[in-house]
Protein backbone atom coordinates (compact mmCIF):
# COMPACT_ATOMS: atom_id res chain seq x y z
CA UNK A 1 0.00 0.00 0.00
CA UNK A 2 3.00 2.27 0.37
CA UNK A 3 2.70 5.20 -1.99
CA UNK A 4 -0.90 4.29 -2.85
CA UNK A 5 -4.43 5.11 -1.83
CA UNK A 6 -6.06 2.19 0.03
CA UNK A 7 -9.81 1.67 -0.05
CA UNK A 8 -11.92 -0.58 2.18
CA UNK A 9 -15.35 -1.83 1.18
CA UNK A 10 -17.64 -2.06 4.18
CA UNK A 11 -21.10 -3.62 4.12
CA UNK A 12 -23.36 -3.67 7.17
CA UNK A 13 -20.41 -2.86 9.45
CA UNK A 14 -18.20 -5.63 8.06
CA UNK A 15 -15.15 -5.14 5.87
CA UNK A 16 -15.72 -7.27 2.77
CA UNK A 17 -13.17 -5.95 0.27
CA UNK A 18 -10.03 -3.96 -0.33
CA UNK A 19 -8.07 -2.34 -3.12
CA UNK A 20 -5.19 0.06 -3.45
CA UNK A 21 -4.88 2.59 -6.27
CA UNK A 22 -1.52 4.14 -7.03
CA UNK A 23 -1.10 7.21 -9.21
CA UNK A 24 1.44 8.15 -10.10
CA UNK A 25 2.84 4.64 -9.74
CA UNK A 26 5.75 4.48 -7.32
CA UNK A 27 8.38 2.39 -9.06
CA UNK A 28 10.18 -0.45 -7.32
CA UNK A 29 12.94 -2.72 -8.54
CA UNK A 30 11.60 -5.36 -10.89
CA UNK A 31 8.30 -3.56 -11.57
CA UNK A 32 6.76 -4.23 -14.97
CA UNK A 33 8.06 -1.70 -17.48
CA UNK A 34 4.47 -1.01 -18.54
CA UNK A 35 3.80 0.69 -15.19
CA UNK A 36 6.21 3.51 -16.10
CA UNK A 37 4.01 4.71 -18.97
CA UNK A 38 2.57 8.22 -18.61
CA UNK A 39 -0.98 8.31 -17.27
CA UNK A 40 -0.90 4.77 -15.84
CA UNK A 41 -2.54 4.05 -12.49
CA UNK A 42 -2.04 0.73 -10.70
CA UNK A 43 -4.78 -1.38 -9.11
CA UNK A 44 -3.42 -3.73 -6.42
CA UNK A 45 -4.57 -5.59 -3.30
CA UNK A 46 -7.95 -6.04 -5.01
CA UNK A 47 -9.97 -8.66 -3.19
CA UNK A 48 -13.25 -9.65 -1.60
CA UNK A 49 -14.14 -11.96 1.23
CA UNK A 50 -15.09 -15.29 -0.37
CA UNK A 51 -18.67 -15.19 0.91
CA UNK A 52 -19.26 -11.99 -1.09
CA UNK A 53 -17.68 -13.05 -4.37
CA UNK A 54 -19.88 -13.53 -7.42
CA UNK A 55 -22.52 -11.08 -6.17
CA UNK A 56 -21.43 -7.91 -7.95
CA UNK A 57 -19.45 -6.38 -5.09
CA UNK A 58 -16.18 -6.72 -6.98
CA UNK A 59 -17.73 -4.75 -9.80
CA UNK A 60 -18.71 -2.02 -7.33
CA UNK A 61 -15.06 -1.76 -6.23
CA UNK A 62 -13.91 -1.80 -9.86
CA UNK A 63 -16.36 0.95 -10.84
CA UNK A 64 -15.08 3.05 -7.93
CA UNK A 65 -11.50 2.48 -9.13
CA UNK A 66 -12.38 3.65 -12.64
CA UNK A 67 -14.15 6.75 -11.34
CA UNK A 68 -11.25 7.58 -9.00
CA UNK A 69 -8.68 7.15 -11.78
CA UNK A 70 -10.69 9.19 -14.25
CA UNK A 71 -11.04 11.96 -11.67
CA UNK A 72 -7.27 12.00 -11.20
CA UNK A 73 -6.51 12.34 -14.92
CA UNK A 74 -5.31 8.77 -15.51
CA UNK A 75 -5.54 7.39 -19.03
CA UNK A 76 -4.95 3.71 -18.18
CA UNK A 77 -5.59 1.42 -15.24
CA UNK A 78 -3.18 -1.50 -14.91
CA UNK A 79 -2.84 -4.56 -12.73
CA UNK A 80 -1.03 -7.86 -12.64
CA UNK A 81 -2.13 -11.32 -11.66
CA UNK A 82 -0.79 -14.85 -11.86
CA UNK A 83 -0.90 -16.26 -15.36
CA UNK A 84 -2.49 -19.35 -13.76
CA UNK A 85 -5.46 -17.36 -12.33
CA UNK A 86 -7.57 -17.89 -15.43
CA UNK A 87 -10.84 -17.01 -13.68
CA UNK A 88 -9.40 -13.61 -12.70
CA UNK A 89 -7.96 -12.99 -16.15
CA UNK A 90 -11.39 -13.75 -17.68
CA UNK A 91 -13.11 -11.42 -15.20
CA UNK A 92 -10.68 -8.58 -15.92
CA UNK A 93 -11.04 -9.15 -19.68
CA UNK A 94 -14.83 -8.97 -19.26
CA UNK A 95 -14.31 -5.61 -17.55
CA UNK A 96 -12.32 -4.37 -20.57
CA UNK A 97 -8.73 -5.12 -19.56
CA UNK A 98 -6.34 -6.65 -22.09
CA UNK A 99 -3.11 -8.53 -21.51
CA UNK A 100 -0.22 -6.22 -22.45
CA UNK A 101 2.83 -8.00 -21.05
CA UNK A 102 4.18 -10.98 -19.15
CA UNK A 103 6.18 -10.43 -15.99
CA UNK A 104 8.26 -12.50 -13.61
CA UNK A 105 8.44 -11.15 -10.05
CA UNK A 106 11.61 -12.00 -8.13
CA UNK A 107 9.66 -12.71 -4.92
CA UNK A 108 7.15 -15.30 -6.21
CA UNK A 109 7.36 -18.66 -7.91
CA UNK A 110 4.99 -17.99 -10.80
CA UNK A 111 4.74 -15.78 -13.85
CA UNK A 112 2.21 -12.98 -14.07
CA UNK A 113 0.33 -11.17 -16.77
CA UNK A 114 0.14 -7.40 -16.83
CA UNK A 115 -3.28 -6.15 -17.88
CA UNK A 116 -4.35 -2.64 -18.91
CA UNK A 117 -7.67 -0.87 -19.27
CA UNK A 118 -7.92 2.15 -21.56
CA UNK A 119 -9.88 4.68 -19.48
CA UNK A 120 -10.40 6.93 -22.47
CA UNK A 121 -12.47 4.29 -24.28
CA UNK A 122 -16.08 4.46 -23.06
CA UNK A 123 -17.19 0.85 -23.65
CA UNK A 124 -16.49 -1.72 -20.93
CA UNK A 125 -18.25 -4.95 -19.94
SS (H, E, C) the chain: CCCCEEEEEEECCEEEEEEEEECCCCCCCCCCHHHHCCCEEEEEEEEECHHHCCCCHHHHHHHHHHHHHHHCCCCEEEEEEECCCHHHHHHHHHCCCEEEEEEECCCCCCEEEEEEEECCCCCCC
**Domain edges within the chain:** 5-118
pLDDT > 80? residue 93 = yes
Least confident of 85-89, 90-94, 104-108: 104-108
pLDDT > 70? residue 125 = no
Percent of the chain with pLDDT over 70: 95
- State if pTM tops 0.75: yes
Q: Per CATH, is 5-118 categorized as 3.30.450.270?
A: no
pLDDT at 12: 95
Q: Read off the pLDDT of residues 28-65 as tens digits, 9 standing for 90 and up.
A: 778 899 999 999 999 999 999 999 999 999 999 999 99
pLDDT > 90? residue 78 = yes
Least confident of 47-61, 90-104, 111-125: 111-125
Q: Are 119 and 76 in contact (CB under 8 A)?
A: yes
pLDDT tier at 108, thresholds 50, 70, 90: confident
* Average pLDDT value over all residues in the chain: 92
Amino acid sequence: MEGGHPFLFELDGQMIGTMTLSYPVRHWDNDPVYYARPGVALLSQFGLEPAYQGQGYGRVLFDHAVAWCSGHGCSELCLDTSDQALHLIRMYEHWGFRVVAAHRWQSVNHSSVVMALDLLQPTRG
